[in-house]
Amino acid sequence: MQICLYIYKFMCGVIEWSIIYMKIFLIYLLLMNIAGFAAMGIDKCKAMAHAWRIPEKTLFGLSLLGGSAGTWAGMYAFRHKTKHWYFVKGMPLIFFIHVVIACVIYRNFY
């Protein structure tokens, strides 16, 4: 029902494109963070079972594509990859870079 309301408001010119794009982007970030958190949990379960593992480049890829907070939180929630220096240093670095980019975008466009 709320989607219909947004469509109606957009058709009437009440909602600008920038608001719609921002909501889509925030939903994307939420989904990427959920995926990153879940990937860490799944990989931890697989590691404990000595089964197929999620490649480390996939975990970093999820982080680079916007899921840095979820991946970083998953590292410590599941105590997974916390002894690998490139995860301990890399995930917070990627998160910090994302925060800086978000601040620059917000400051310049809003």
Is 27 inside a domain boundary?
yes
Mean pLDDT by 10 residues, the chain (110 residues): 62 65 89 97 95 95 95 96 94 95 81
Residue 69 is part of which domain span? 15-109
> Does a structural domain hold residue 9?
no
Q: Is residue 30 part of a domain?
A: yes
Task: Give the Cα separation of 70 and 43 in Å (integer).
Answer: 14
Domain count of the fold of the chain: 1
Cα–Cα nearest to 54, from 46, 63, 62: 46
Specify the pLDDT at position 36. Answer: 97
Let me know if residue 7 belongs to a domain.
no
- The answer to the question of residue 103 being in a domain is yes
Residue 67 falls inside a structural domain = yes
